[in-house]
Structure 1
Amino acid sequence: MNVAEFHQNIEQIWLSIEEQLEQQDCDVDCDTQGSVFTITFADRSQVVVNKQEPLLELWLAGKNGGFHFAFKNQQWVTSDGKLFWQCLEEACRAHGETVSFA
């Protein structure tokens, strides 16, 4: 994956996150500032998803911890095999929102 494809892939993920949260009536606000996508929950806590261009990685941070994902076999995965979408669901749950990312 080159840098342009990396940015396009991440921006599609951010759009998908926002759309799915909206479709499932989650009480959250989404905001993008540069390379950082933030989900703010009703209690003002946040989940942050950001691009790490130099490493071509996707990072996720929330109450349940921080994760680094690399793009392998057409999906974002941690070094120990955790999938991005599953980790994002768990992060949202830790912040009080049950959501399913398909």
Structure 2
Amino acid sequence: MNISEFHQNIEQIWDHIEASLEEQDCDVDCERQGSVFSITFSDRSQIVINKQEPLLELWLASRLGGFHFACKERDWVNAEGKRFWDCLIEACAAHGEKVVFA
């Protein structure tokens, strides 16, 4: 994956997250600032997802901790083999929102 493909892929992920949260009427605000995508919950807690361009990684930080994901065979997985989407679902639940990302 080159840099351009990396950015396109992450933007598509962020679009999907935002659309899914809106479709499910989640009480959250989404914001993009440069390489950072934030989901802010009603209690002001946040999930922060950011691009790590030099490593071509996607990072997720929440109440559950921080996770690093690399693209392997068209899926974003961490070193333990856990998928980004599964971690994001768990993180949202820890922040009080039960969501599905299809």
The within-5 A match list for 1:1-102 is 1-102=1-102
- 1:6 Cα deviation after fit: 0.1
Structure 1 residue runs of 4+, over 3 Å off? Answer: none
Aligned Cα RMSD in Å? Answer: 0.3
Aligned length: 102
Query: Equivalents in 2 of 1:79, 1:73: separation in Å?
Result: 14
Q: SS of 2:60's equivalent? A: strand
Query: Equivalents in 1 of 2:36, 2:48: separation in Å?
Result: 7
Where structure 1 has 5 or more consecutive residues not aligned to the other structure, the ranges are none
Query: Equivalents in 2 of 1:8, 1:23: separation in Å?
Result: 22
Query: Equivalents in 2 of 1:26, 1:60: separation in Å?
Result: 19
Amino acid at match of 1:25: D
Query: Equivalents in 2 of 1:62, 1:53: separation in Å?
Result: 20
TM norm structure 1: 0.99
Amino acid at match of 1:87: C
TM norm structure 2: 0.99
Query: Equivalents in 2 of 1:34, 1:28: separation in Å?
Result: 20
Where structure 2 has 5 or more consecutive residues not aligned to the other structure, the ranges are none
Q: SS of 1:6's equivalent? A: helix
